[in-house]
Amino acid sequence: MTTIDAIVSDLEARFDDVALGHVRAWKQAGSGRLAIGCLPVFAPREVLWAAGALPVFVRGAGDRLETIRGDAFYQSYICHLPRSTLELGLLGHLDALDGMIFPNTCDVIRNLSGVWQTTFPQHVARFIDPPQTAEPASAAAYLRHELTALHHDLCARSGVAPTAERLIAAIADVDAAHAAADELAAARRAEPWNLPVDEVYLLRRAADSMPPAAWAALARAYVAAARRRGRKPEDRIRVCLVGAFCEQPPRALLRAAERAGCYIVDDDLTQGVERCGPPPEVGDDGDPMAALALAWLRATRPSAVRYDQHARAGHELVARVRACGADGVLFAAPSFCDPALLDQPRLTRVLDQHAIPYTAFKYAENTGQFQAIREQAGTFADSVKLWGTA
Ligand code: SF4
């Protein structure tokens, strides 16, 4: 039986391994293996995995590294993620990667893709622009075309045959990890006192760079060990954390918010490795790439970085709040993050209509002072407990 302390200690070591030693080890364990970095928030993990490439989410360096060189590339009014990502690259910490994928998340990541191509010419750098419409015929065909080109490109480098069978197997592998992530999320909603947010966060960050089946086994081992703690629930409110989908808050900030009187029972951290809709279903045409493209278009969870054609993001957030039994919402946005900050008014308008309390704060990935945020979260929790509103 693995103890919770042993699991958490391993997760911490993996999280602190900013030079990706664990990815290097995975590559060296087999021939022809690739590792491809993926910027938030869209990564076609199944396509990479089918091509023999480990998808590795690169979410900046957080507070684990001082950013010096990366700062020289950007103005002061740009979020922190591209700076620390460049710092990682310039220090050689991303040398284990064979390439980087830049989705069209925002102007900053689009710009970073160009900077990357000129600064790291040894990397394959691909810019992916997922369609911003749910109009199925042309959008699915376009996305299928883009993913197929990426698949063939990576297969040519790894020497793996780009077959439908391999892609179907990769879809099943990633879906198995999604099933384990669903179990983890359900366990946290049921017993947040046994599964604290900073541990669950470490576990989910491990999913950023682990083979899907290995991560699924680890997640199930963690849930079993965490439940054995048998802690008692404390008098805290339950909250959804919204807005931290790209640049990540420091782990200590998550811990501080919880200890101030909240259980964070749902969030959009680590977007890209969680299921955001029904799994791909290969149709009668036997075309798994078409199924993947359709699954992405049908993804049910709205996001600040996707065009919300039917203005359903606020209502989906209300549904999430209800589903996880949350008492309110914590909006946590990276400083200068246009997608997260511009999304807030349309979400809060709907929360107001449903009398769901919320509060908002900003952070940077290397924020070192949490006192103000701790006080704000604590006051929010007390207000909701006393008056049912913020
Ligand atoms: S934190 Fe926001 S602005 Fe910065 S790269 Fe991510 S989505 Fe773009």
- Evaluate if residue 371 carries a pLDDT over 70: yes
Helix or strand (DSSP H, E) at 251: helix 251-259
* Beta strands per DSSP E along the chain: 34-38, 53-57, 99-103, 124-128, 237-242, 262-267, 328-334, 358-363
For the CA of 106, the nearest atom of ligand 1: 8
Is the model's pLDDT at 389 over the cut of 70?
no
Is the CB of 338 within 6 Å of ligand 1? Answer: yes
Helix-strand-coil split of the chain, %, nearest 5: 50, 10, 40
Q: Whose alpha carbon is nearest atom 2 of ligand 1?
A: 337
Q: Is 268 touching ligand 1 by the criterion CB < 6 Å?
A: no
Q: Which atom of ligand 1 is nearest to the CA of 107?
A: 8
Determine the residue of 246, 269, 367 to mutate for testing ligand 1's pocket, defined as the one with the most ligand atoms within 8 A of the Cβ atom. Answer: 246
C-alpha 72 – ligand 1 centre gap (Å): 18
Reported as a single tens digit per residue, the pLDDT across 62-104 is: 999 999 999 999 989 999 999 999 999 999 999 999 999 999 9
CA 240 to ligand 1 centroid distance, Å: 20
Q: Which structural domains are found in the chain, ordered by start?
A: 18-160 (3.40.50.11890), 235-268+303-390 (3.40.50.11900)
Beta bridge partners of 262: 237
Give the tens place of pLDDT for each residue, 310-323. 888 999 999 999 99
**Which pLDDT does position 1 carry in this prediction?**
60
* Residue 329 near ligand 1, beta carbon < 6 Å: no
User: Model confidence over 327-340: pLDDT tens digits?
Assistant: 999 999 999 999 99
Residues of the chain with pLDDT > 70: what percent?
99
What pLDDT was estimated at residue 217? 98
Q: Answer whether residue 276 shows pLDDT above 90.
A: no
Tell me: pLDDT of 305 over 90.
no
- Report the nearest atom of ligand 1 relative to the CA of 336: 3
Q: Confidence class of residue 136 from pLDDT cuts 50, 70 and 90?
A: confident
User: pLDDT grade, residue 127 (50/70/90)?
Assistant: very high
Nearest-CA residue for atom 8 of ligand 1: 106
Average pLDDT over residues 336-362: 96
Per-residue pLDDT of 220-247, as tens digits, reads 999 999 999 999 999 999 999 999 999 9
- Region for residue 233 given its phi and psi (left: phi exceeds 0; alpha: psi -120 to 50; beta: otherwise): beta
